[in-house]
Structure 1
Amino acid sequence: MLDRDGVINQDSDAYVKSLAEWQPIPGALEAIARLYHAGWTVTVATNQSGLARGLFSSATLEAMHDQLQTLLQQQGAHIELICYCPHGPEDQCDCRKPKPGLFQQIATYFDVPNLRDVPVVGDSVRDLQAGIALGATPYLVKTGKGEQTLHQGGLPEGTLVFDDLSAVADYLLRVSP
């Protein structure tokens, strides 16, 4: 389970608001493809409060996700499920990370009672907290806001830290049966 901004694509404090601004992090798409070809099911859970803030439309967000899938298809891979929270922080929804609603959607989609030991990869504490609420294993990447997150501390117990998604994929492919 991957966060999007800062893990798969470049992040921006001004939000990723257009297809032109959506730029993959070097090596991230290849990492997803390697995982996919090794039999992993890849999903995305992402907060997208730019929708609630009126910074971009649902159609623009879908165009970004379509671009992601198109680039992965060129490598013979795809993401099985992309879940996103369209709400702002003040909306008090159940899906905005660090609440686990997006991860519950993923568990429901795959008809599993929990996400015990499933890797959740993010660049912020809230990404990791949302996953561990359902038993996932936290992986922090230093891309996006990851370096800042690492220096701020407060990581969930057992968090594994990697330079980027490619390094996470290398690790998972090395340790998984």
Structure 2
Amino acid sequence: MDEPFDAVLFDRDGTLIRDVPYNGDPDLVTVMPGAREVLRDLRERGLHTGVVSNQSGIGRGLLTANQVAAVNARVEELLGEFGTWQICPHHPGEGCACRKPAPGLVLAACEVLDVRPERVVVVGDIGADVDAAKAAGAASVLVPTPVTRQDEVDRAPRTAPDLRSAIEMIL
């Protein structure tokens, strides 16, 4: 990745914070190892940061938008302010243009941050994150977790063992 980037977009669950399925409780937010330091380094270098996150629990009736907002507020308390939060609230069956692997969240984040997709990297833990980046014309780094399927790892153009390594690839 020799291209200089203007922004790094992160998946939320499994990437910035531990994945607690359909979490609506800010007290359950636990930061992933290295996330604070990585975000501090990116911000010190002047890069924009944002979050792109599918939150189908809203569309499934398992969470309210207010609960998701409360969890996101807790994430910002722990990790600092992000330039944009792009959330897909839809049920997977709705066929929206925003739900990853569709490019909608990434493109919306680019618009808010006023950056071109080709100057953006998406960091996530599953294939949908990588596919959304590709569909939007952005680069990606997959940071696998125990839930990442092997075929997603095999298909990803770039993988890193942890957030720190992902950011080193980007910088």
Q: TM-score, normalised by structure 2?
A: 0.86
Map 1:32-71 onto structure 2 (within 5 A): 32-71=39-78
Against the structure 1 CA distance between its residues 87 and 47, is the aligned structure 2 distance closer, same or farther, given a 3 Å change threshold? same
Instruction: State the secondary structure of the residue aligned to 1:162.
Output: coil
AA partner of residue 17 (structure 2): N
Q: Over the residues paired in the alignment, what is the CA RMSD in angstroms? A: 1.8
1:139 deviates by 0.4
Structure 1 residue 136: deviation in Å? 0.8
- 1:144, distance to aligned residue in structure 2 (A): 5.8
SS in 2 for 1:42: strand
In the TM superposition, residue 20 of structure 1 has moved relative to its aligned partner by 2.1
Q: Does structure 1 residue 109 correspond to structure 2 residue 112? A: yes
**1:165 counterpart letter in structure 2:** L
Shift of 1:16: 2.3
Task: Map residues 13-24 of structure 1 onto 2, 5 A cutoff.
Answer: 14-24=21-31
What letter corresponds to residue 109 of structure 2 in structure 1? I
Any conservation in 1 of the 2:86–2:109 contact (CA below 8 Å)?
yes
**Alpha carbons 1:7, 1:164 under 8 Å: kept:** no
Would you say how many aligned residue pairs link Structure 1 and Structure 2? 162
How far did residue 15 of structure 1 move?
2.6
Q: Which runs of 4+ in 1 moved over 2 A?
A: 14-17, 170-173
Which residue number corresponds to residue 17 of structure 2? 9
Contact preservation (8 Å) 2:124, 2:141:
yes
Which sections of structure 1, spanning at least 5 residues, go unmatched?
none
> For residue 33 of structure 2, what is the aligned residue in structure 1?
26
Matched with 2:4 is none
The answer for the alignment partner of 1:118 in structure 2 is 120
> Which residue identity does 1:155 align to in structure 2?
R
Shift of 1:140: 0.3
Task: Confirm or deny: 8 A CA contact 1:17 1:50 kept in the other structure.
Answer: no
Unaligned runs of 5+ in 2: 1-8
Letter paired with 2:112: Y
Sequence identity, in percent? 33
